[in-house]
Amino acid sequence: MDCPLCRAEGEQLLEADDRLRVIEVLEPRLPGYRRIIWQQHRRELTELNEAERIHWFTKVAQQEDALRALWACDKINHASFGNVVPHLHWHVMPRWRTDPWWPSPVWGSKQPSTRMAVTQSAQGQFLLGPNEKSSNPAPSMSLQIDEWLSLKEACAAIRQKVFVEEQNVAAEEEWDELDWACRHLLIANTDEPMATGRLLSLGDGRARIGRMAVLREFRGHGLGRMVLQGLIAEARRLGFSEIVLHAQTHALGFYARSGFAAQGPEFDECRIPHREMVLRLETG
């Protein structure tokens, strides 16, 4: 029979022996997703003998350990579905509290998205919430918090300009697969992006705020603080107990005004001096 799993085409093979193989599933929306596949035709676990079952589950557990060593995730999901082709296979994937589906399974409902109006005062300061005195009540400026799939074009356009072009961060350092595991914040005026940032779970109730950027032409009017406060609120909604971030040293005062405290020595990141800062959140 012509079997796609026997052909093993288009796979990123991680390891194999004569009984099974482990592949990385090339699905960007699910960073770290792996699949363990029995090489011979076996439809169900019960068709494996006892030694084969031990070999199988030892390998499943090894993949869980390997993913935990690679990713600071909150949970490893396992699943085995009905097979169209007669190859027993097992899905193993890291999950983050900030991923699009948490706490549901990846075929379940997604996290709620947030959208709030942003207005500008007569003095030019950006403010959260509708402006009741405005003659045009339809808000064109807004703050959104959502998954990467929804906001990636606008957020990527800001980060490309600020980090890659203005600060000369290497493109391969700027773009990582973890964007798919993050909550993203975007402030935009209709289709014109203005400011962004992201929140990533590090496991154990800790989250990292990163990739905060305001386009040059919109700086100095409160947008950076609005991004930071929005991501802190999202971290509270998700129940995190602590937020850490890597602050460029010239911006320590900006984060300190929102309650972050510097800890540890100065270090270099993307050839820019940074310090780690931490904010503990009240829980319970």
* 46 burial type by CB count under 10 A (0-12 exposed, 13-18 middle, 19+ buried): exposed
CB of 3 to Zn ion, least distance (A): 3
* 217 burial type by CB count under 10 A (0-12 exposed, 13-18 middle, 19+ buried): exposed
The one among 3, 16, 61, 233 contacting Zn ion by CB under 5 A? 3
Distance, CA of 245 to CA of 262 (rounded, Å): 9
Distance, CA of 252 to CA of 274 (rounded, Å): 9
Nearest to Zn ion of 22, 30 (CB atom):
22
Stretch that binds Zn ion, among 3-11, 19-27, 108-116, 192-200 (CB under 5 A): 3-11
Told to check if 117 binds Zn ion by CB under 5 A, we report no
Nearest to Zn ion of 22, 200 (CB atom):
22
Stretch that binds Zn ion, among 4-12, 118-126, 207-215, 222-230 (CB under 5 A): 4-12
**Nearest CA to 147 among 95, 174, 116, 110?**
110
Stretch that binds Zn ion, among 5-13, 24-32, 123-131, 149-157 (CB under 5 A): 5-13
Told to check if 6 binds Zn ion by CB under 5 A, we report yes
Stretch that binds Zn ion, among 1-9, 65-73, 111-119, 157-165 (CB under 5 A): 1-9
The answer for 264, left when phi > 0, alpha when psi is -120 to 50, beta otherwise, is left
The structure tokens listed for 183 are 């909550």
Told to check if 5 binds Zn ion by CB under 5 A, we report yes
Nearest to Zn ion of 45, 272 (CB atom):
45
- The answer to whether 59 and 36 have CB atoms below 8 angstroms apart is yes
Told to check if 127 binds Zn ion by CB under 5 A, we report no
CB of 42 to Zn ion, least distance (A): 10
Distance, CA of 171 to CA of 79 (rounded, Å): 35
DSSP 117-172: EEEE-TTS-EEES--TT-S--S--EEEEEEEHHHHHHHHHHHHIIIIIIIS---HH
Told to check if 143 binds Zn ion by CB under 5 A, we report no
Told to check if 45 binds Zn ion by CB under 5 A, we report no
CB of 93 to Zn ion, least distance (A): 23
Told to check if 25 binds Zn ion by CB under 5 A, we report no
